[in-house]
Structure 1
């Protein structure tokens, strides 16, 4: 099947960030200045809150199905069924293009200058598992540029269970987590208006290639070493030689921690790391050596240029400090700054016991004075886990306070993207991007295993202006208990089975209290069915599993093309009283209602300036037997 490339246009009812997500305008702050001339017509106004949603990112994303292509269009079924080797469901926009024959291609004209490419793709697994590597040909302006290397080493998990620890790397039956990404820094910069083609040539030998999306970015040259920093090469690290540089990296970090140098410099290059960077504990306290680094400043030449990588899967590494945390990345206790590097892990599985996990890119207590800027994490079990249980060396207790993540990229994990837990407070994730996480892309969990449950409640944290795509398990954003937490200005799309945003009291959190604010977010194609496809989740779901969920405000929000309900109050043992819902647009549902209170839901919601349209099962639905009360209605005042 061959399909002509569409002319660029603004799409009715889609926010600026949504246009970016389909590659129709560059990822910049002002569509009117930066959109190509062809998009001048058919524009519709969107609310200021929605227009501001999502991260301002340095790349433009192009959907394969919106390109000129020769191949087979893959689409999700109406239920967007997940877990049964469903390529369409796992695709961005729920569509992708399969290249089966020699000469098949995906081709598009760039709207931005670029010297790098990221391709989200799927190729087959090896017959016995473990993945394969194959090439795909890149042409620019009809000239062959380079072979891209695609890999399935980190994709293809098998099993029918929805319990992630039950999935395996052994081929057989149903599969999920079908996609991964390949990236390449090109030798030259191609101006806007260049024609990029990904083509299957005769020597590209995979059985099939599926192309989902492409990111083009103009990457800045590598930064120069700051005069005050000391390079890891001074401690014996050698770039690009394939040898383990952990000893040198650890020595440099220890020297910084001891005040012998001012900061650690990771120069341009590929640096192999096969042990977690931490602080050696001669007392061997705790179940594992769980003392992180503190008073450390690690800088790199840029996330495309200074890259740490691991080759040994964590569950095969041996001798690591903690089976869950793996053999790559950094364990942080407090006052640490890390910027402008990449951490490419070696995980291949979520894990079916405590000794088989995919590792954590950044983990620890984090304490005070820590910030993470422009760090790219990929192929970890968890990108970042913030917090430690009290019994992990109680005398070192120190929850994250004022922790900041800015401009980070987390891709292709087996569990969470970033999880704030164990009393994390006054902390934030802003202007960051998440794609293909295997659990919540962003989570706040008021874990009760803290020093003082009355004081150490996870609170006053903010997730703002982030772009979240394609969580292959669980939520785009989740909040489990706590108070004063804010989810604001995020763009969330294409969750496989769970909500775009969920507030819940499962996982035994400390209670909700005070206010929880959900504001200015835009959701596309979120929600889904899980747990044997017996539970259907809305785009925004409130699930009082046991304890109540109190103090919730949902406002200035746009919800489009939900798989099931727009806003759902799920049956549970607790109640959700006095939810304020205002200035909310819910447009389109394949299989659900605009607002649904399930039969076992208890509580109430007050609607003001709510617009609902194009629902499969009605605008506002309260199931028989429900004790939930909804005041006001679509388009009306409370």
Structure 2
């Protein structure tokens, strides 16, 4: 127990950010409510990202007598995983107070509290008052946060290395070649610190009213970190009178007994009688998959209809390799013909997934769904919010909120075609927030449009692995934490090749470009990666804004072992804005070529083009060439970002240039 307690103490020290700024704000006053999007002035990201019903307010902009933590982008720290890389730490008895910017009757609080000394989480209260009135108590938990160690991670803060033969950047060595194996500080690589909780306030409050969050004395949490508050005016429950109401088939709205069987009966009755299924307000316990086909299922709204389940261990593994089951709505397997004409809307799915088991199908929505829609769901604490295995076609996923996942937020996996994900909000995914993965069978003609992604803990905000005729447009991606980028275009994970076109258009990334542990280098906000084959499709990056980049804005790279085999060819960048880079605008670590037209940059921390090519350093110049098509303006202290002397293929390689923290973004 002493060792475990020590480990927990180390976790706190590491998570708070070491040398990160810690300022006692002593009840600072805020003159007016500061509403942000991705922790920025909304004007800086206008027209980008999802249309959402809530207003975001960062705790660091609110009145508080707590302590500011951050800014810090160092992985494994609490500030780094916070929206905007800042948050407020409350000791027992301290508060943070938000001024409502508009009428609201509901709030969502994003927070972190400590893990239990030996792992497994704790629960603790948070008092909520409005204008000093009656107190409501929100129950916070760390049971779904605090992961440790190497992929696929551990819930044990005292665990030894899961893979002692892997490269460990922190000690700069290969443990298997070291005698004895290097000691590591425990807990090793703590992460996934945050969770969120929703609360209906019981009445509507007006703009200017004060919502105070207080960490009461005597709770189990030695500290409470508040990242942000989302406030919302939730409408009345949706009612469907003529429908197969699950209550008529024995569903329990109090959640005391499992309602899965009642849901199945309601679905079967609805199909026979050409009705919709209606799930009225309540909390329903469902501990397995609900299989859906040719059915419409409506809830009263995601704040009112909550479908919650335990994760259940299977006595024997399922044919797909799952060792657990849990709550989820699944189309039939593609090999069985899949499902079609499924329409899900207006309810929450809350799982109980606390560890990552890659073979498990414990996702909120899954299977194969063709000619279907998923709209207005709130999904949290599942493994992946939505994971689709094709072949399947014509799926529309719109207006959903997916938070606090162990792995991806949403993944179009294998043979998904002619499908769209638009105006979805994804926060705190444990892997790629939005992904298209063309494993074995290519995805084709799919679009991710006007989605918002915040704080993916591992990997990328939006990732495209192979596929044909793909569009990534109008998205807002902020604060990826480690080993990934805001947007990745990758030939990896056994993906089919990129063919046709790939259009990356009118997206905004904020505070992106993380530290890649395996390579010991910083990545770009957008990252092209030729690992398993060349990338030579028609790729157009147009109208994108890369703001406050931790390292590079744009990175094109291959892995060292295949650097002479694969290339990235003829990528076209046009009408781009780069506002702030810790290092360069372009980092090229691959052979190939790219062209640039009307790419404007400012506040560039290093030489504009860091061109290493494929590290052959031939006398003829870099193996990667750049073409200036005109209108490429601006730069930094080293001069124009795309200087004539850098073209077409001057070697300007600095493997790990010093990082200059960029200033905050501002109007262009």
TM bracket (short chain): 0.7 to 0.9
Counterparts of 2:510 and 2:33, CA distance in 1: 18
Equivalent in the alignment of 2:603: 614
Partner of 1:555: 542
1:70 aligned to 53, 65, 70, which one?
65
* 1:119 maps onto 2:114 in alignment: no
Q: Do residues 593 (structure 1) and 606 (structure 2) align?
A: no
For 2:375, the equivalent position in structure 1 comes to 373
**Corresponding residue for 1:37?**
none
| Aligned structure 1 segments of 4 or more residues deviating by more than 6 angstroms | 316-321
Shift of 1:303: 0.6
Separation in structure 2 between the aligned mates of residue 98 and residue 9 of structure 1, nearest angstrom? 20
Following superposition of structure 1 onto structure 2, how do residues 57-206 of structure 1 map, counting pairs within 5 Å?
Answer: 57-77=52-72, 80-83=73-76, 86-102=77-93, 104-159=94-149, 161=150, 163=151, 165-169=152-156, 173-174=187-188, 175-206=190-221
Question: What are the Cα deviations for residues 479-508 of structure 1, in whole angstroms up to 9, with x where unaligned?
Answer: 011111111000110000210000000111
Matches within 5 A, 1:456-471: 457-471=442-456
Displacement of 1:295 after TM fit?
0.5
1:166 Cα shift?
A: 3.7
CA distance, structure 1, for counterparts of residue 269 and residue 228 of structure 2: 43
Match of 1:298 in 2: 297
Q: In the superposition, relative to structure 1, how do residues 210 and 609 fare at CA in structure 2: closer, same or farther (>3 Å)?
A: same
Matched with 1:253 is: 267
Counterparts of 1:9 and 1:218, CA distance in 2: 16
Q: 1:513 to 1:406 in 2, by over 3 A?
A: same
Cα pair 2:527 2:554 within 8 Å, conserved: yes
Asked whether 1:216 is paired with 2:231, we answer yes
Look up the match of 2:532. Answer: 546
Q: What is the CA-CA distance between 1:582 and the residue it aligns to? A: 0.7
Pairwise mapping of residues 504-583 of structure 1 onto structure 2 (< 5 A)? 504-532=490-518, 534-549=520-535, 550-572=537-559, 573=562, 574-583=566-575
For residues 419 and 146 of structure 1, what CA distance do their matches in structure 2 show?
Answer: 37
1:453-488, CA deviations, whole angstroms, 9 ceiling, x for partnerless residues? Answer: xxxx21110101111000001100000111111110
What corresponds to 1:38 in structure 2? none
Partner of 2:311: 313
Structure 1 position 602 matched with structure 2 position 591: yes
| Deviation, structure 1 residue 262 | 1.1
Gaps of 5+ in 1: 11-17, 26-30, 32-45, 279-292, 389-398, 451-456
1:360 counterpart residue number: 363
- The worse-fitting range, judged by mean Cα deviation, of 328-337 and 628-637 is 628-637
- Structure 1 CA distance, aligned partners of 2:235 and 2:57? 21
Count residues with an aligned counterpart: 560
**Aligned residue in 1 for 2:648:** none
Query: For 2:251, which of 226, 237, 258 is the aligned residue?
Result: 237
2:39 maps to: 22
Q: Secondary structure at the match of 2:364?
A: strand
CA contact (8 A) 2:491 2:529 kept: yes
SS at 1:631 equivalent: strand
Q: Give the Cα–Cα distance (whole angstroms) in 2 for the partners of residues 324 and 349 of structure 1.
A: 12
Deviations 1:90-131 (A, max 9, x none): 1110001100142x1111211111111111101111233221
The verdict on how the C-alpha distance between 1:119 and 1:506 changes in structure 2, with shifts beyond 3 A counting, is: same
TM-score, normalised to structure 2's length? 0.80
2:284 counterpart of 1:264: no
* C-alpha deviation, 1:321, in angstroms: 8.1
Note if contact 2:427-2:454 (Cα within 8 Å) is conserved in structure 1: yes
Does the Cα contact within 8 Å between 2:122 and 2:220 map onto a contact in 1? no
CA shift in 2, pair 1:126/1:318, >3 Å: farther
Do the aligned partners of residues 513 and 315 (structure 1) sit closer, same or farther apart at CA in structure 2, a change above 3 Å counting?
Answer: same
Alpha-carbon distance between aligned partners in 1 of 2:490 and 2:312, rounded to the nearest angstrom: 31
The separation in 1 between residues aligned to 2:464 and 2:91, in whole angstroms, is 42
Instruction: Supply the distance in 2 between the matched residues of 1:501 and 1:166 (Cα, whole angstroms).
Output: 24
Query: Residues 503-533 of structure 1: CA distance to partner in whole angstroms, max 9, x if unpaired?
Result: 0001111111111000111110111013357
Unaligned runs of 5+ in 2: 1-23, 159-185, 332-338, 634-641, 643-668
Shift of 1:551: 1.2
- 1-side partners of 2:143 and 2:502: how far apart? 40
Structure 2: distance between partners of 1:143 and 1:23: 31
Offset, 1:634: 8.1
The 2-side partners of 1:320 and 1:506 are apart by 27
Shift of 1:589: 2.0
1:441 aligns with 433
Residues 550-576 of structure 1 show CA distances to partners (whole Å, capped at 9, x for unaligned) of 211101111111111100011244211
CA distance in structure 2 between the aligned counterparts of 1:364 and 1:611, rounded to whole angstroms: 43
User: Does structure 2 retain, via aligned residues, the 8 Å contact 1:435–1:469?
Assistant: yes
Aligned match for 2:351, one of 325, 345, 348: 345
Q: Which residue of 1 aligns with 2:6?
A: none
